[in-house]
Structure formats: C-alpha cells, structure tokens
Structure 1
C-alpha cells in the first residue's frame, strides 16, 4: 500500500543461486511485512467505516508514524534531518500525500482485497514512468509485461461487463500516484540515508496535513485512538521488515512472496468486515503480480549483467548506493 517510503526502491541484497538460509530469512521478513501492511489497510478501512474523516485518518497515520520513529531520531541525532535536496523532498511529499489519501479513500469504498489486488499495478507503472520520464531503457519484454499487467487490471475492473466501483477506480489512481512517488524515492535513496528519507518525508507530510486534519477533526473513542496508533506502528514496522527482507535475500525471492499481501488482506477483510473478493479479482491479481514479478526479475538480471560488464579490477570505484536500512 502507499506509505511514506517504499523500501522496494532501496538497495537490494546481492543475487545468490539456490535456496539459502538468507533467502529463508528474507521470506520470513517479507511474510511479516505483508501481514503488517495488510493490517494497516484493514485498520484504515475500520476507521473510515466508523466515520473518521479521511484527512484526519491520513494526519493521524502520519503523526503516529513520526512518534514511532522518535527513538531512532533520539539515538542517531539531528543529523538525520540534514539534506540539501529539499526541493525533491517537496515533490516527493506532495505525490506521496496524493497516493496515501487516495489509497485510504479507495479502501473506504472497496473491499481491501480488491484494492490490494489493484495496488500490484504500482511497480509496472513505475517501470513505465522510468522509461518515459527518466530515460531508462525498457526492452520489448518488459513493455509486454506492462501490457499484460494492464490486461490483469481490466480483468478485475471488467469494463462494459461489470460496473467498476468508485473504490476500484480510485485504487488505480492511487497506484499511479505511488508509482510516481517511487521514482522520486529512487532518486532520494541515491542521495540520502534511507532513514533520513523516511524521517524527513514523514515530518514534512505530517506538517502539511496538520491544518487539514484539524479542519475536519472529530472526537475519537478510545478504541479509534488505539486503531490510529496501531496504524502508525504497524506501518513503520511493515516498512522496516520489508527493508530487512530486501537486505537478507535477492529481490526476486522477496518479490515472489509479495503476493501474500492479497491473502492477508482478504483474511482481514473477511474477519473484520465479512467481505470476500470474487474469482475474477483473484485471476486479475495473479496476472498483474506475475507481470510485476517478471519485470522485477528482468530488471535485476539486466542490472547484474550491466554491473559485471562494467567491472574494472585495476581501478575499484566507490558505490553510489546509500547504506542499507537497519
């Protein structure tokens, strides 16, 4: 789901062959991340159905995430807040808020399983955006995978056959906004430490959403305060565990487990709201995910091939990647 930072844009573990202990650790971390991030969506839907205004949900989601990161800031000091790239952060914050707000709007109107299925479009849209706006080379195989992924979205939406819900259409828009935000994350991750990217983004988004959140503010019950606090905590832990999964195992291994978000989302939707998704949503989600998985593996192989060809043993160069997240 759209959140302040998507660790898929952070440095990956080196590729390995065969199943390893590290791969198993990566799979475990990824399963935990899928459960936590699906839990954030379920809690957000619960708050929306309970009548909490959308802008208040977004503000409290961000504010509690900042509080959850406070111990990290206290440990590492104010140096985490220094950056010369405020203009890029401003663009990232704006697009991230659009993505997050539209995501919570989508899950307030559609089953979280359906919205999660459509969210698998994000990496495909990011690949397309990288080709169109960042000048990255995308071959015909990956363009084909993007087209197949969009066909999967059509299977879910079934235009002309079934009436697409407003929530599903907003979920498509949210995936598009998050794809744009992820392109900015990649640029920031090449410049600042990942923790700095997370913290500055969260702080700026929280400040921006303060007045809108207070404008629509409604008193919350003790239960809803607990829901909002858990959203912030689960969101932060979900991204930490996702980052650890990407550090422990190759991206292709981790990406193969990402589909677990859908069963978790469907499970939470059934337990909390008594809702299920139809077989066409499962089929469409599988098509979209398969396309995204192929694209991720293809990009990884091309990156490895390019890296091996550019190796110069006599003159080692320093890596431009930021340090791995904790």
Structure 2
C-alpha cells in the first residue's frame, strides 16, 4: 500500500532525486566531452523507453491503455520539446559548465508562471508578475550583460528553460484527458523514436570504461525518474517542489570538485534572486490552491 500525504518522506525522496540528477548531469557532460551528444541522448532514451514500457505494463490497462492518447499530437510535441531541450542542455554543460547552466535553467518555474495565462487561461496577478520580474533580474545578474556574455553559449540554458517550461505546460494541458501513465509512455517512446532518427547517423565507437559510465547514466535516469514518481505519489507537489532547487547546489559542488568550474559572485547572487522568486511563486500557487506544474520526471531520461 502506497503511503499518501507523507510530505516528509516525499521531501527526502525529492532531495535524493536532485542528487541523482546532478550526478547524471555530470556524467552527461563527461561523455559529451568525448562523444556526439546525439548518440548519448539516443542511448539514454532507449533505456528510458524500456522503463516506460515496463511501468505501463504494471499499471491497470497495461500498454493498450498507455498507447491510447486523447491528445496524440500534443503528446508528440511534448516529446519533441523534451529531446530538443536535452540536446541543448548537454551542449550548455560542455560550453558553460554545470554551475552557470543550472543557475540560468532554474528560472523555468517563472517562465511556466508567465506563460500559464496565455497557454492555460490562468490568471496571473501582480504579485506573481513581480516575482517573475525579480527572477529575470536574477538571470541578468548571472549573465552579467557586459563584454561577451550574450554569446550564443550564454543563451543555451535560457532556451532550455523556455523549452522545458513549454513542455511542462503541455503536460498540464494533456492531463485533462490523458493520465500520467499515458504521458510518460508517449514521452519516453516518442523521445526514443525521435532521438534514434537523429542519433543513428552519429554513432561512434565507445571505450569500455565509457560504456560503464553510459550504463550508470541510464540507470541514474531510470532511478531518478522512479523516485520522483514515488515522491509525487505520496506528497503534495507544492510541499516538495521547492527542494528541486537543491540540484543547483549539488551541481555547483560537482562542477567545482570534478570539472574545476568557478562559482562567480554574480552567478551566486543572481541564482539567489531566481530561487527566492521561484519559491514565492510556488507559495502563491499553494495559497490560491493552484497545483504547481511539477518538474516532469521525463526531463532526465
């Protein structure tokens, strides 16, 4: 029997998820330094699709129910956005490092809040618009608009945040008729098909040790996904989602310890602005009884 409404245990699980995902990001960066990103993402989605098929088979109705989507085109668009977001995210890790990529990417809940009006028809009041504005001031502080900061590389993590926000909004949009089992199945299998169509042209031989890292990457993707599903099954989303910001902390620690990334002062200050604005937005959603869009588990296949 699943334990329901256990926010404490849910918070512990989501903290573990942030650690797993931070480690996964580091492995992705390591592999992308040597191998083509398209191949790495393709292999990740293969394993993620197998996990989704196994998960669907265990649910009531099995694979037949998971395949029958009421919003097939929207589900397909979700998968496309997720694959593109992961491609760009890994490229950002290589070009900018874990710290600065995560520092900008964490603005995605603010983008969700900003777009929830035109996309979902939700009312966005002045308090949330103020929080959104403060969050984007934080992004500008991180980017430090001087010199060469507005290089193409600097726009990558922000583009990731926009794509992931749209993915999250579409996830909410399809939830009116499609359950989470269907959305996970379409995301994983659709992502595997898309990434294979692209990645099969970029296959490279991989060394033995790196195959071990690749296997760990796939396992951590499935593990993190399974733990996140479990966390949101047993706890309120508004109670545990703020802990997702800890991924920035773990990513920064790994980046400095393993890749010699440097935590610049403006990045630390800007990240604080973004996190505080995001937490305020989540609090306002909880106050108004609007369920926040949880980070879609499929973001880290």
In the other structure, the counterpart of 2:158 is 172
**1:178-197 alignment, distance < 5 Å:** 178-197=164-183
The more displaced of 267-276 and 103-112 is: 267-276
> How many aligned positions are there?
285
Superposition deviation, residue 113 in structure 1: 1.6
Out of 212, 215, 235, the position equivalent to 1:229 is 215
In the aligned structure 1, how far is the partner of 2:151 from the partner of 2:31?
20
In the other structure, the counterpart of 1:251 is 237
- Structure 2 residue 27 is the aligned partner of structure 1 residue 43: yes
Write the deviation string for residues 70-122 of structure 1: whole angstroms up to 9, x where unpaired: 43244343222222321111221222222121111111211112111111111
TM-score, structure 2 normalization: 0.87
Structure 2: tracts of 5 or more residues without a match: 292-301
**1:299-310 alignment, distance < 5 Å:** 299-303=285-289
In the aligned structure 1, how far is the partner of 2:273 from the partner of 2:180?
31
Out of 262, 276, 283, the position equivalent to 2:262 is 276
Deviating above 4 A after TM superposition, structure 1's stretches of 4 or more consecutive aligned residues are none
Q: 1:256 to 1:181 in 2, by over 3 A?
A: closer
- Structure 2 residue 273 is the aligned partner of structure 1 residue 290: no
TM-score, structure 1 normalization: 0.81
In the aligned structure 2, how far is the partner of 1:293 from the partner of 1:168?
24
In the aligned structure 1, how far is the partner of 2:77 from the partner of 2:148?
36
In the aligned structure 2, how far is the partner of 1:165 from the partner of 1:156?
14
In the aligned structure 2, how far is the partner of 1:54 from the partner of 1:212?
10
Max radius of gyration: which structure? 1
SS at match of 2:288: helix
SS at match of 2:289: helix
**1:20-31 alignment, distance < 5 Å:** 22-31=6-15
In the other structure, the counterpart of 2:117 is 131
Out of 60, 69, 72, the position equivalent to 2:43 is 60
Q: CA RMSD in A?
A: 2.1
Superposition deviation, residue 24 in structure 1: 2.0
Write the deviation string for residues 45-69 of structure 1: whole angstroms up to 9, x where unpaired: 00111x2112112211211212334
